[in-house]
Structure 1
Amino acid sequence: MEPKAHHVIIGLFTLIAVVAALFFALWLAKSSADREWVYYEIVFDHAVSGLSKGNPVLYSGIEVGDVLELKLGEDNPGHVRVLVRVEQSVPVRENTRAGLVLANITGSMSVQFSGGSTDSPVLEGSREHPTQITAEPSAFNSLLTNGEALLTKAETLLTSANRVLSEENTENLTAILRNAKDASDSLLDNRDKLVALLERMDDASKRAAEAAIKVSTVSDNANALLQNEGKSVLTSMSAAMKTVQQIGARLDQLTRDNEGALDSGLQGMGELAPALRELRNTLRNLNQFTRRLEEDPTGTIWGGPSIKEVSQ
């Protein structure tokens, strides 16, 4: 009789637990059904890997809804349209930003709203006509995109490195290193000559520096001479030019003032020309008479032939 009573108690307890669980599930379903939702369609212009139906929707890190549906854009398959529902008590405004965040280390993603000022109007939407929101690129998505680009560049770099380190290039590099080693050994063997050459170059540089100093000194002296003596010479030349100009001006004025007298003098010199010719003829005849007188004084004085004028 006692074992049968135990089975009855256990069965009764199991029945009560199942009924309680059923009532709790009904209450939970009723509570979820009684909750009021606002629906939004978020448009992503990039991949939404890790996001799936039923993933949570967060607002500043707090769960406020879930993802209902994902589909590709009808006009542009590169866009993804995600239908979400959010509790009506959560104010999603026009300037609220939407994006993706990493939910866990498995790569699952969640939709997250952030921002929104109190002066911006609240967005409303139903299941049939959800309000559309354009999502912003998330930091994680940018990291993935940049990571893919970085991996692509790394792969290209490795391919180029493999080409550079080919067997032919390796042999050429080995030959170059061998030649460099031979050259360094040769330089070490001629180290004394190199040291002597460097000392000569040092002496030459010192002499060049001394010559440059001397040239600079000569240049400074020439500059000083031009600035001091050259100025006095130029001043003297300027004064001489002024004197010459004054003399020229005076000669010009004197010529202008005595223009009539100079014309008269020139005319007088023109009238003297015939008289000078007559005087020249007379002197010639007198010279002939004197010569004849010396040769034959008697004949010349007492009856010699008369003196004839010599035509000019």
Structure 2
Amino acid sequence: MEPKAHHVIIGLFTLIAVAAALMFALWLAKSSADREWAYYEIVFDHAVSGLAKGNPVLYTGVEVGDVLGLQLDQTSPGQVRVLVRVEQSVPVRENTRAGLVLANITGSMSVQFSGGSKDSPILEGTRDDPARITAEPSAFNSLLTNGEALLTKAEMLLTNANKLFSQKNTENMTMILQNAREASDSLLGSRDQLIALLERMDDAGKRAAEAAVKVSTVSKNANALLQNEGKSVLTSMSAAMNTVQQTAARIDNLTRNNEGALDSGLQGMGELAPALRELRSTLRNLNQFTRRLEEDPTGTIWGGPSIKEVSQ
């Protein structure tokens, strides 16, 4: 009698649980049907791997709807049209952006809306005439799209790395490191000489700096001299040139005005030439007499040889 009672209780509990589950499902379906929805058609120009019917639609991370269907564009197979529904109370505007986000680590994707300013008009769409939104490619989607190219480049990189670390290159690298070690040991052995050389170079640099300062000072002084005294010299030279020009002009005018007198004077100078020669001869004789008088005054005055005329 007791086992039969237990079976009855278990069966009754099972029926109650199934009835409660059915009632909950009916209530959930009714609340979903009673909710008001806005419909949007999102156009993707890239692959939508991981997106499927029933996946959630998010608005800045908050679930506001779900995906109703996906289909290829008949006129442009490279595009995918995704029909979604969003609670009508959510303000999806004309400048609202749409894209894909990773839902979980299994690769499932969700549609996410973001952005939208208050001054932008609200998009309204029905099931028969959904509003259209062009999706923007996300960084994760670009990474997935370019994953094959990245893997190819990674494979090429590994191949080149294997070539780089071949046996021959490894031996060459070992020799290079050995030579570098020997060179460093040699430098360490010549450290004192290098220090002395660096000190000399430092002294030379200081002297060069001092010489540069002196050259700069001389240059400044020369520049000041040219600017100050040079200007006065140039001014004096300019004044002298003006004076020479004026004097030359006066001589030219005087010559032009007294051209006849100058010609007569030149003729007179030609007539004076014989008289000048006679005067020169007389001066020579007088000079010779004076010299003899100084040497022998008595002989010259009291019977010395007569003075001979110097031939011309």
TM-score (norm 1): 0.66
Cα gap change, 1:222/1:142 in structure 2, threshold over 3 Å: closer, same or farther?
Answer: same
Q: CA deviation at 1:260?
A: 5.2
Question: Which deviates the most, 253-262 or 37-46?
Answer: 253-262
Number of aligned residues? 271
Q: Distance in 2 between matches of 1:188 and 1:4?
A: 101
- Report the residue type matching 1:185 in the other structure: D
SS at 1:176 equivalent = helix
Q: Distance in 2 between matches of 1:217 and 1:15?
A: 112
Report the equivalent of 1:40: 40
Cα gap change, 1:67/1:191 in structure 2, threshold over 3 Å: closer, same or farther?
Answer: closer
Report the equivalent of 2:161: 161
Report the equivalent of 2:177: 177
- Report the residue type matching 1:64 in the other structure: V
Cα gap change, 1:125/1:255 in structure 2, threshold over 3 Å: closer, same or farther?
Answer: same
Question: Which deviates the most, 85-94 or 225-234?
Answer: 225-234
Cα gap change, 1:250/1:162 in structure 2, threshold over 3 Å: closer, same or farther?
Answer: same
- Report the residue type matching 2:240 in the other structure: A
1:272-291 equivalence runs, <5 A: none
Q: CA contact under 8 A between 1:71 and 1:80: conserved in structure 2?
A: yes
Report the equivalent of 1:134: 134
Q: CA deviation at 1:136?
A: 1.9
Report the equivalent of 1:288: none
- Consecutive unaligned residues of structure 2, counting only runs of 5 or more, are 275-312
Q: Distance in 2 between matches of 1:88 and 1:29?
A: 18
- Report the residue type matching 1:108 in the other structure: S
Q: CA deviation at 1:99?
A: 1.7
Report the equivalent of 1:78: 78
Question: Which deviates the most, 160-169 or 254-263?
Answer: 254-263
TM-score (norm 2): 0.66
- Report the residue type matching 1:122 in the other structure: L
Q: CA deviation at 1:240?
A: 3.0
- Report the residue type matching 1:105 in the other structure: I
Does residue 242 in structure 1 map to residue 250 in structure 2? no
Q: Distance in 1 between matches of 2:10 and 2:188?
A: 101
Q: Distance in 1 between matches of 2:76 and 2:62?
A: 32
Q: CA contact under 8 A between 2:98 and 2:113: conserved in structure 1?
A: yes
Q: Distance in 1 between matches of 2:189 and 2:15?
A: 104
Report the equivalent of 1:124: 125
Cα gap change, 1:37/1:172 in structure 2, threshold over 3 Å: closer, same or farther?
Answer: same
Q: CA deviation at 1:245?
A: 1.4
Report the equivalent of 1:114: 114
- Report the residue type matching 1:77 in the other structure: P
Q: CA deviation at 1:196?
A: 5.1
Question: Which deviates the most, 110-119 or 38-47?
Answer: 110-119
Q: CA contact under 8 A between 1:94 and 1:123: conserved in structure 2?
A: no
Q: Distance in 1 between matches of 2:232 and 2:41?
A: 97
Q: Distance in 2 between matches of 1:261 and 1:100?
A: 120
CA offset digits 1:155-194 (Å, max 9, x no partner)? 5544443333232222222222222233333334444554
- Report the residue type matching 1:163 in the other structure: K
Cα gap change, 1:188/1:100 in structure 2, threshold over 3 Å: closer, same or farther?
Answer: closer
Q: Distance in 2 between matches of 1:112 and 1:155?
A: 34
Report the equivalent of 2:252: 252
Report the equivalent of 1:286: none
Cα gap change, 1:242/1:137 in structure 2, threshold over 3 Å: closer, same or farther?
Answer: same
Q: Distance in 2 between matches of 1:50 and 1:109?
A: 5
Report the equivalent of 1:54: 54
Q: Distance in 2 between matches of 1:110 and 1:87?
A: 16
Q: CA contact under 8 A between 2:100 and 2:111: conserved in structure 1?
A: yes
Report the equivalent of 2:187: 187
- Report the residue type matching 2:241 in the other structure: M
Cα gap change, 1:14/1:259 in structure 2, threshold over 3 Å: closer, same or farther?
Answer: same
Q: CA deviation at 1:255?
A: 2.3
Q: Distance in 1 between matches of 2:180 and 2:3?
A: 100
Cα gap change, 1:255/1:146 in structure 2, threshold over 3 Å: closer, same or farther?
Answer: same
- Report the residue type matching 1:121 in the other structure: I
Percent of residue pairs identical:
78
Larger Cα-atom Rg: 1
SS at 2:112 equivalent = strand
